[in-house]
A = this chain, B = another copy of it.
Amino acid sequence: MSVRAGIIVTGTEVLTGRITDRNGPWISERLEEQGVDVAHIITVGDRPDDLEAALRFLASEGMALIVTSGGLGPTADDLTAEIVGRFAGRGLVLDKEMEEKIAAILRRFARRYSFDPEAMREANRKQALVPEGAIPIDPAGTAPGLVVPADGTVVVVLPGPPRELHALWPRALETEPVRSVLARADSYETTTLRMFGIPESELAKTLREIDDQIDLSPLEITTCLRQAELVVDIRHPPEDEALSNRVIDAIADRHGRFVFSRDGESIDNQVAELLEGHRIGLAESSTGGLLAARLTDRPGASAHLAGSVVAYSDDAKIELLGVPADLIAEHGAVSPQVADAMADGALARFDADIAFAITGIAGPDGGTDEKPVGYVCFCAKQADGRALARDPVLPGSRADVRDRSVAVAMHMLRVLLRGEEPPL
């Protein structure tokens, strides 16, 4: 039997776009791991009626589980516990044990920051008010979570700060009402194929052709563009793994050199593995440190990354990377020649055996007819002389050009280190 769930993210700051919600997607991934189908993620502001309407909508659509995030803080606009209680027909009562737990946490916190502990305690007493009969979940910050059984559904109420939400999630899964919902969920699997350098329409045509030959109806296939990659997700019941593999083989037969991952492994993982035993140095201009930030996003990057020279000014290119001033004068700071010299500089300065250099025009100004905004020169180079260079014009805004540049760089590194034929 399929178990469906809805997620409600609360907060005017999320609704108005002032902050980007990461909780909805995170909860969705966790539910998917449990075999639960997420049907809706609803963002509401701090207006009680809108939250209650969202709860009623999800219940009416047959959601066995509703997970909320946010609205458990100390300020007056934090109303989730009260509204969920009202929705479930349960009034608020003070949980004395929880009140004492929160007080103990706040005493530590107040000492550390030297703010008035009594003021904090007062502001947070409200956080110990829970719907009658709800199961409280111990806080990771100061806000406890709640599991609230309601008519035909179970509401899991979690705090908004991602760290706290992540900490409370496994505790919510252990409660009896949540366990009994999850026991009814189907299991199924998702295989993810990742491609680079091919338009979505080309893949759509391929999928139609495959569909003409094989009955794909047991599968749910979704495709999406993500960071210049085309990601194909194939969801299948465990017994249809062979069918899923046939589809993957058929795509790989037609578009092999565009497929860089058949098991969902990210380009970040692949590049990190390929860099094992190497020492890489970077030279960045238009990406301004984004490639270095991407490579150091993962723990353990220091094993292969020596560093990056973000040479934004011409002086920095000359002084810190040893790019000849003549070369910049002759070809311009954004040119394949300068990218090549930057890569040489990174090899030398970082005593590296592989280097990657990027120089480009991210915009919105600085473009010319010959070198428009989006023109970016890339050079990947190994100390033994193997190299790969490209100078495409990338579409989009300044942020798009910078982000796509990092994606291109990651894939060029993969191609060079694997010794593959470049897709484009």
> CB-CB contacts of A3-21 with B at 8 A, as 1s and 0s?
0000000011111111111
Q: Are A16 and B29 in contact (CB under 8 A)?
A: yes
Question: Given A18-B226, A202-B119, A13–B307 Cβ distance below 8 Å?
Answer: no
**How often does this chain occur in the complex, in copies?**
2
Size range of the chain A interface in the assembly: 35 or more
Q: Given the complex, which residues of B lie within 8 Å of A231, measured CB to CB?
A: 13, 18
Q: Are B77 and A202 in contact (CB under 8 A)?
A: no
Q: Given the complex, which residues of B lie within 8 Å of A45, measured CB to CB?
A: 38-39
List CB contacts (< 8 Å) of A294-343 with chain B.
295-297, 299-302, 305-313, 315-316, 319-320
Assess whether A32 is interfacial by the CB under 8 Å rule.
Answer: yes
Q: How far is the CB of A185 from chain B (nearest CB, A)?
A: 15
Q: Are B299 and A306 in contact (CB under 8 A)?
A: no
Q: Are A302 and B312 in contact (CB under 8 A)?
A: yes
A172-180, A283-291, A414-422: which lies at the B interface? A283-291
Closest B residue by C-beta to A70: B224
Q: Are A74 and B24 in contact (CB under 8 A)?
A: no
Q: Given the complex, which residues of B lie within 8 Å of A289, measured CB to CB?
A: 284, 288-293, 296, 308, 310
Assess whether A91 is interfacial by the CB under 8 Å rule.
Answer: no
Q: How far is the CB of A318 from chain B (nearest CB, A)?
A: 11
Q: Given the complex, which residues of B lie within 8 Å of A199, measured CB to CB?
A: 109, 113, 115, 120
Partner of A74, one of B17, B109, B204, B222: B204
Q: Are B363 and A299 in contact (CB under 8 A)?
A: yes
> CB-CB contacts of A261-273 with B at 8 A, as 1s and 0s?
0000000000000
Question: Given A16-B29, A17-B26, A226-B19, A288–B299 Cβ distance below 8 Å?
Answer: no
Q: Are B47 and A32 in contact (CB under 8 A)?
A: no
A-B contact pairs, 25 of them (CB 8 A): A11-B224, A12-B224, A13-B231, A15-B38, A17-B29, A18-B231, A19-B224, A39-B44, A42-B42, A57-B57, A74-B201, A76-B207, A76-B208, A163-B397, A284-B289, A288-B292, A288-B297, A297-B399, A299-B362, A299-B364, A305-B312, A307-B309, A307-B310, A310-B310, A319-B350
